[in-house]
Amino acid sequence: MTDEPTVPQGYATTLFDLAGRVAVVTGGGSGLGAAIAIGYAQLGVTVVVADVNAAGAEATRATIAEQGGQATVAMLDVTSRDQCFALADAVKRDHGRVDILVNSAGSAFRSPAEDFPEDKFNFILDLNLKGTYFCCQAFGGVMLGQRKGSIINIASIGSFVGYPWASAYLASKGGVLQVTKGLALEWRDRGVRVNGIGPTLMESPLTKAAGSTTSITADFIKARMLRPRLGLPKELIGTAVFLASDASELVTGHIVMCDDGYLTA
């Protein structure tokens, strides 16, 4: 009788295999979510592009279809808990399961803290933190039923360090870090892993809309970068694949930083 090899023949060849899995990507109609959705589809994942922006979501779906992948569009406002649960039911009905959830819907608002408008503070917390939480609850529930699934929350360097004129954003992303840890702890023994990705300042429509490429916020961040270069959305795909796949089986409750070394300084 021979002992089973420590690493069975072929084990590593399937570690990153995502073919046939089902992913929901919130905020998939733009920026980081769109890039991750397209990247997953290139690996054979069926992607549900969930967004409030119909045109953006449709553009991502069309790109995936042109590239030979599988995607559908779902209208979703992540700040509505009811809509999150309704979409989770619909995806389970239509696709049978949900293997991967990427929470990329989010926004930013710039203001000095002493003048930060209450409605804008609520808007950012509702979208970035509660929206992420509602989707974790809704799609995480489906995953718990399957006893398998991977949730990836888009966090930020702002989950760990401060920068000016972004106090609501910092509060929301600090919250995303702690929600990620809390849910990872509760769900580990039921097969669901919860992690995050912490990007540096990225080139995306959000960065342009928030004036981040030229604002006091962006100037502060840029002055502390190890090299003067924004991240590209496609540069997050590798980490999103790792966290979604069986290659990260022992990884849960962490934010994997894609910050070009920002937090080392």
Phi, psi (degrees; rounded to nearest 5) at 103: -95, 95
Question: Which residue lies nearer to ligand NAD by CB, 106 or 149?
Answer: 106
* 91 makes contact with ligand NAD (CB under 6 A): no
Question: Which residue lies nearer to ligand NAD by CB, 17 or 77?
Answer: 77
26, 239, 248, 252: which one binds ligand NAD (CB under 6 A): 26
Catalytic residue among 40, 133, 163, 169: 169
DSSP SS3 for 20? coil
Rounded Cα distance between 107 and 78, Å, is 12
Minimum distance, C-beta of residue 153 to ligand NAD, in the bound complex (Å): 8
Rounded Cα distance between 116 and 113, Å, is 5
- Catalytic residue at 163? no
Phi, psi (degrees; rounded to nearest 5) at 7: -120, 105
Question: Which residue lies nearer to ligand NAD by CB, 33 or 149?
Answer: 33
Q: In what order do the strands lie in the sheet with 255-258?
A: 70-75, 46-51, 22-26, 100-103, 149-154, 192-199, 255-258
* 27 makes contact with ligand NAD (CB under 6 A): yes
**Parallel, antiparallel or unpaired: strands 255-258 and 192-199:** parallel
Minimum distance, C-beta of residue 204 to ligand NAD, in the bound complex (Å): 3
40, 45, 46, 104: which one binds ligand NAD (CB under 6 A): 104
23, 74, 98, 127: which one binds ligand NAD (CB under 6 A): 127
Phi, psi (degrees; rounded to nearest 5) at 235: -75, -5
Q: Are 210 and 109 in contact (CB under 8 A)?
A: yes
List the one residue out of 41, 31, 160, 56 whose CA is nearest residue 106.
31
Minimum distance, C-beta of residue 188 to ligand NAD, in the bound complex (Å): 24
x/- string (CB under 6 A) for ligand NAD, residues 47-86? Answer: ----xxx--x-------------------xxxx-------
Return the amino acid letter for 230.
L
Minimum distance, C-beta of residue 207 to ligand NAD, in the bound complex (Å): 4
Q: Are 114 and 167 in contact (CB under 8 A)?
A: no
Q: List residues binding ligand NAD (CB under 6 A).
A: 26-27, 29-33, 51-53, 56, 76-79, 104-107, 127-128, 131, 154, 156, 199, 201-202, 204-207
